[in-house]
Chains A and B, each alone.
Chain A
Amino acid sequence: MNWKKEWKILALMIGAFLACFYLPAGSSRFDRAVIESLELVRWYAREHVLFCLIPAFFIAGAISVFVSQASVMKYLGAKANKVLAYGVAAVSGTILAVCSCTVLPLFAGIYKMGAGLGPATTFLYSGPAINVLAIALTARILGWNLGMARAFGAIIFSIVIGLLMHFIFRKEEQAKAAAQMTMPEPEVKRPLWQNALYFASMTGVLVFANWGKPEEAHGLWHAIYSAKWLMTSGFAVAFVAILAMWFELKWTHLILASMPSIALAIVFPSNPMIAFAAGVLGLSVITSTNKAEPGEWFQSSWTFAKQILPLLLIGILISGMLLGKPGGEGLIPSEWVSSAVGGNSLFSNFFASIAGAFMYFATLTEVPIVQGLLNNGMGKGPALALLLAGPALSLPNMLVIRSVMGTKKTMVYVSLVVVMATFSGMIYGKFF
């Protein structure tokens, strides 16, 4: 037998065996945690998948197909305006980093062939935090103010970190890689304003379908809440019209595909979920059978869903097991959580940043984890600190970053991230 090859599998088996052998099934705490985790999964499935995740997948897919990445990259090239480069690097994560695995190559590219260390670290920090999926899910589950704080915190602090990195290492003349940036030719198929309207209509559907019920039963927010399905339908109609006019989809097909959704909305007016699901299905059928751009769009949305959903399911299960559903308690006692990251002390924020920096979060799983921690008494400040430090860094990606820019710069970068996340957590915790 080839032990060198097989030892990992054996170790895994022994581990699984021991875990099963000592499985605390039957103890009330464990059994309750299992129920909690199943209830949490059901809650996500009922409340968040259809209205929030699915539209967000379509938007993310659309960004990766219809937005020209090359046109953004020219602002991050070697000859780019330095001031502009920081700004573009800070916000371009929304467009460039729709998939977490693209962040590291882009970072390495900007560092070695493009605008240099400062903008590269700016991009590295903000990228994972401001992609559409992350913002949509954070705002939906953890509340819009934490969602916004996460997005703006990431943008502002990414610029600060980039500038600091540039300042600290300003004396190091770095040898630019000999290779030339190879970029795909930007393809212009329709004017920018048409693309902008297309994205606006989709974002409208996402925002209004998820409009939360306000606490007071009057005022502007409530008025919007009562009309949310009307607004959502309005945006959906605009969206269908845009697809027909500018995306080479046939009117007849589009109308046929919207028919079931409209009919179901009339038959079941009190249950918008049915009509919404039918609409999603109709859209999927006409885009997936298309051979041109819309087909590519569906393909790319599907890739995201395939990649992210299984990991998210596992993340929710584990988080439910350890931390329980809202209002419940899992395997980890609440007192532990509140003593480690409760309140808004320097220690809580620092602890949350350090833990977030080293832990690996698969795309989006940071959301159920932070939600579980908040339920068990985590302070809002430390929650933001974890959200800022978490997805930007993990032990595996530190190793890749180190291979690109060396040990010293990586250590400085990691310390800056931890310090920045701690302070932004404290500032946020003070106000909310």
Chain B
Amino acid sequence: MKIQVLGTGCPKCKQLSDNAQTAIEELGADCEVTKVTEINEIMKFGVMLTPALAIDGEVKCVGKVATVSEIKKMLQ
């Protein structure tokens, strides 16, 4: 699976990608976390409240830092 963290690089986005990383480690899932920081790329997802999280190109959470347990649920 592919996890994308959308955000221009503010502390909240970093928090979100840390959370995603932790969730993957705890699940032992085979995932790759990438950051999307280019604003026009973020717009292509239809996201305007950052940070946001997309799994396999599908936006799962917008405008807030999802917790580790929330991300685990999305992955399962």
> Which residue on A lies nearest to B15, using beta carbons?
A303
Counting CB contacts under 8 A, is B59 at the interface? yes
The residue in chain B whose Cβ has the minimal distance to the Cβ of A180 is: B46
A177 touches B62 (CB 8 A): no
A109-120 interface bits toward B, Cβ cutoff 8 Å, 1 = contact, 0 = none: 110111000000
> How long is the Cα–Cα vector from A99 to B9 in the complex, in angstroms?
12
Q: Let me know if A113 and B40 touch, CB within 8 A.
A: no
Determine if B9 and A400 form an interchain contact, defined as CB atoms under 8 angstroms apart.
no
Quick check: A99 and B44 within 8 Å, CB to CB?
A: no
Cβ distance A121 to chain B, nearest Cβ, rounded Å: 15
Q: Is the CB of A106 within 8 A of B10?
A: no
Q: Which one of B8, B43, B59, B64 contacts A177 once the chains associate, using CB atoms below 8 Å?
A: B43
Asked if A9 lies at the interface with its beta carbon under 8 angstroms from chain B, I say no
List B27-76 residues whose CB lies under 8 Å from chain A.
38-40, 42-50, 52, 59, 61-64
Of the residues B8, B11, B50, B59, contact of A303 by C-beta under 8 Å:
B11
Interface size class of A (residues with CB under 8 A): 20 to 34
Q: Verify if A214 is at the interface (C-beta below 8 Å from B).
A: no
What's the Cα separation between A99 and B15 when bound, in Å?
14
Q: Any chain B CB within 8 A of the CB of A182?
A: yes
Q: Cβ of A113 and Cβ of B49 under 8 Å apart?
A: no
Q: How far is the CB of B74 from chain A (nearest CB, A)?
A: 14
Which one of A106, A112, A177 lies within 8 Å of B49 (CB-CB)?
A: A106
Contacts of A70 in B (CB 8 A): 63
Q: How far is the CA of A101 from the CA of B12 in the complex (A)?
A: 9
Known: A184-B63, A403-B39. A99 touches B45 (CB 8 A): no
CB distance from A208 to the nearest CB of B (A): 31
CA distance A400 to B44 in the complex (A): 16
Q: How far is the CA of A278 from the CA of B30 in the complex (A)?
A: 47
Who on chain B is nearest to A179 by CB?
B46
Asked, given contacts A104-B8, A306-B11, A307-B10, whether A181 binds B39 with beta carbons under 8 Å apart, the answer is no
Residues in B with CB closer than 8 Å to A105 are 7-8, 39, 42-43, 47-50
Interface residues of B (CB under 8 A from A): 7-13, 15, 38-40, 42-50, 52, 59, 61-64
10 A–B pairs (Cβ distance < 8 Å), ordered by A:
A69-B49, A73-B49, A105-B50, A108-B42, A108-B48, A113-B46, A181-B46, A303-B11, A400-B39, A403-B38
What residues of chain A have their CB less than 8 Å away from a CB belonging to chain B? 69-70, 73, 99, 101-102, 104-106, 108-110, 112-114, 177, 179-184, 303, 306-307, 400, 403-404
